[in-house]
Amino acid sequence: MKLTGKQKRFLRANANRIRPIFEVGKNGLSTVWLDEIQKALDTRELIKINVLQNSTATVDDIKDYIETKSDVTVVQTIGKTLVLFKPSKDTNKQKLSNEVFAI
């Protein structure tokens, strides 16, 4: 999904208050890990991921992996933290995505 600059700015502002709920460590990336991220995004729509120091994957590797293997949008990378967004499939949980698409 392609987001405009204003939409990304809005998402970054909302992500400022949340803490990372997933980490990438020495085990690296897997399809199970990506499935869990998509489940979390289906509930929250906006999450952060932290890359640990012992990870063999770089932030760019993780960003490419997520964007090529799913329909999740990487909104921002700050150091070793990624901000991810995906609209929820459940209409009751689409508060954030409704605000994003109204911009």
Q: Is the pLDDT higher at 102 or at 20?
A: 20
Record: fold of 5-87: Translation Initiation Factor IF3 (3.30.110)
Residue 85: which pLDDT band, with cuts at 50, 70 and 90? very high
pLDDT tens readout for residues 37-70: 999 998 988 999 999 998 888 899 899 999 899 8
pLDDT tens readout for residues 18-40: 999 988 888 878 888 889 999 99
- Give the global pTM: 0.85
Instruction: Sketch the domain layout of the chain as residue ranges.
Output: 5-87
Q: Is the pLDDT of residue 88 over 90?
A: no
Average pLDDT over residues 73-100: 86
Sign (positive or negative) of CA dihedral 26, 29, 30, 34: positive
Which residues, 6 or more positions from 70, have their beta carbon under 8 angstroms from its beta carbon?
34, 37, 38, 86
